[in-house]
A and B are shown apart, each in its own frame.
Chain A
Amino acid sequence: MPKINDLPAKTWSWTQTGGHGVARLATREHQVAAGQKQQVVQTASDFSLPTKQIWTVAAGAHLQLLQLFVRPGERLVETVIELVGAGASVDIESAYALGSKDFLSLNYVVRVRAPGARAVVNTTGHMYPGARKIWRSTLEFEPGSPGAAGNEHEQVLLLGKPAQNVSAPLVLTHERRVDATHGVQVLTPETGETAFYARARGWTSERLAREVARAQLERVARMIADEGRRARQWDDIQGENI
């Protein structure tokens, strides 16, 4: 039974040393130089230890971070993006497929510190019975970031009763001239217009669930620039017993 009084703090960093009861936290720092465009693909195997990764994105640079967590086991990942230069941008696209043996804790923090910066955090995923997930995303617009914009969104497809399913999208704005949106959608194969349409076309709920779940993962895999890597990820997804 969730506690009615569980209201989260405004703090943006929660994977502190010892957080989630872990003994060690791996920390990595990366930079995206001014004007550069970089795509990074990460899967569960990149985070064998609870990890905090910090990306600093300079002026005019763009970081696209693609993350896939397919039956990952226990994974705790905190991703901090510092948009420090004018026009810096980040696009985080992630997807997960979680079963009863999986616990995924994702914490995205985007600190927008420069004018005209852009941030997108978009996560889709599905959860089988007994799965556990905490998804938290923070867009923090600091003074001096006029003209910045951001969007964070999570779509969760429930394929049974999850053991833990928490979504917490935060927007903290200290700068007036920004635009930010955020949202969470929790749905099941039986609800929504898509379900009605699918049934009208003769699909069963089970088929709809499979197609939607697979599409969530394919959405991210399709974005991988490297053909070989994309093909491998695609095969992995098709091979999953979704």
Chain B
Amino acid sequence: MTPRPTDKLDRLLVEELSARHGEPDWMRQVRLQAWEKYQSLSYPTWGPDVSGLDMDKIVPYIQPESQMATSWEQVPPDVRQSFAELGIPQAEEQLLAGVAAQYDSEVVYHRTQEMAAEQGVVFTDLTAALHGEYEPMIRQYFAKLVTPGEHKWAALHTAVWSGGTFVYVPPGVQTALPLQAYYLLNARGAGQFEHTLIIVDEGASLHFIEGCSAPRYNVAALHAGAVEIFVGKSAKIRYSTVENWSRNMYNLNTKKAQAAAGASVEWVSGSFGSMVTELYPATILAGAGAKMSYHGVTLAGSGQNLDTGVKVVARAPQTACTITAQSLADGDGVSTFRASIAMTPEATGSRASIDCQSWQLADQSRSDSIPVLDIRAPQVDVGYEACVGTLDEGIIAYLGSRGLEREQARLALVNGVVDGFAKQLPLEYAVEMANLVTSQMKKANAKN
């Protein structure tokens, strides 16, 4: 096939992507059906304004210059340098069971540590997995949770996805160390549409860490990835994200997990970057006794509109969900927390506890809290509480009397807010997050 510029989002591109990756025909059909759905759907209107996103100017696919590598020495120097500055190779060596690094549209580096591989853990890029023994499994699960009909961005993603990871944890395997995928969008005005498919089989457990960043340009970029997680009976997953996209990014990601009987899903989600974010990790508690927890922190600085939250559908008895969200808005930033909790009539004996705290740190900032509870099951116990306020001036004054400048005092209080979230991350990521918070607060203080 004669290569052609892949900067036009059209049906031909969808066909070319499938052909380029040598995909089975069923995947090609899935892409094309998703493309038709994308054409038919309207943009959601209830969230942040995305009118600044001109899809005609987004480059949907960028061909990498090299093949995927299994050692950092094989990665092109400039790409390797980008990831080194982020600390990825060091983290891999010290505290991870495997790393997948995606640069623009494709995974450029991937390696699973010997220990995890010996346990039978499969951790590979999704395209490679389509050509191996796990192709039938991927066919069974791909786009079954995040379906093209979900919304326009999900349809676009399913049509033009590239890169991403496939993870399978066999029954009973407890992974000692986390796996990590890191997404770097380096190209100007590009879109990244990675697909993460994770299957944690019965009785197994996994901690998966997702990181992302991009250099800042003065044109819009788009991240419309998808994460699908299937958690088997009595299995467990913790999915941690520290998101630090650049301020020109539209982060319209879709994440969804399904938990079987006795399974547990934990979301740990920090949103600090991007210009606009719409991110609502969703969990379907499909089996009796399934549990989910969500701990999220969002810090919207000047020029940011971060609309985050969580969705839960409990459709089996004796399920439980615990949600803790902290939302901060500084400068003229907008921080919105949304929650959608639904319990069907089958969710007898289920429990839900939702706690949201929002702080407005500046006069121009805005903080909104928008939950919806749809409870139709008997014998349930559901409690939602939220509060909105600002940093306590009394405490700031007290810290001032102890020698802290006002900005230092504010930063100390904000770090106190996010401390509970940071404790759930490995130390290196907690440090990265603390640096992000400090950087955000300094930018906001400079503008104020």
Contacts and interface: CB of A to CB of B under 8 A. Distances in A.
Given A1-B344, A7-B340, A176-B363, A184 B383 contact: yes
Interface in A151-171: 156, 158, 160-171
A165 B386 contact: no
Interface stretch (B93-101, B223-231, B365-373): B365-373
Contact of B379 (A8, A10, A188): A188
A173 B378 CA distance: 34
Contact of B378 (A6, A161, A178): A161
Contacts of A160: 378
A191 B379 contact: yes
Summarize B's interface: helix, strand, loop or mixed: strand
A190 B381 CA distance: 9
Interface in B6-65: 45-47
A188 B380 contact: yes
A183 B313 CA distance: 19
Size class of the B contact interface (CB-based, 8 Å) = 35 or more
Contacts of B366: 172-174
Contact of B370 (A8, A190, A191): A8
Q: Which of B342, B361, B362 has the most CB of A within 10 A?
A: B342
B46 A7 contact: yes
Contacts of B375: 156, 158, 162, 165, 167, 186
A179 interface: yes
Contact of A161 (B280, B345, B360, B362): B345
A167 B373 contact: yes
B372 A9 contact: no
B368 A158 contact: no
Nearest to A1: B344
A180 B389 contact: yes
A23 interface: no
A10 B46 contact: yes
Contact of A172 (B368, B387, B389): B368
A183 to B, nearest CB: 4
A231 interface: no
A187 B373 CA distance: 13
A38 to B, nearest CB: 28
Q: Which of A5, A176, A183 has the most CB of B within 10 A?
A: A176
7 contacts: A5-B151, A7-B372, A166-B374, A171-B358, A176-B365, A183-B384, A186-B381
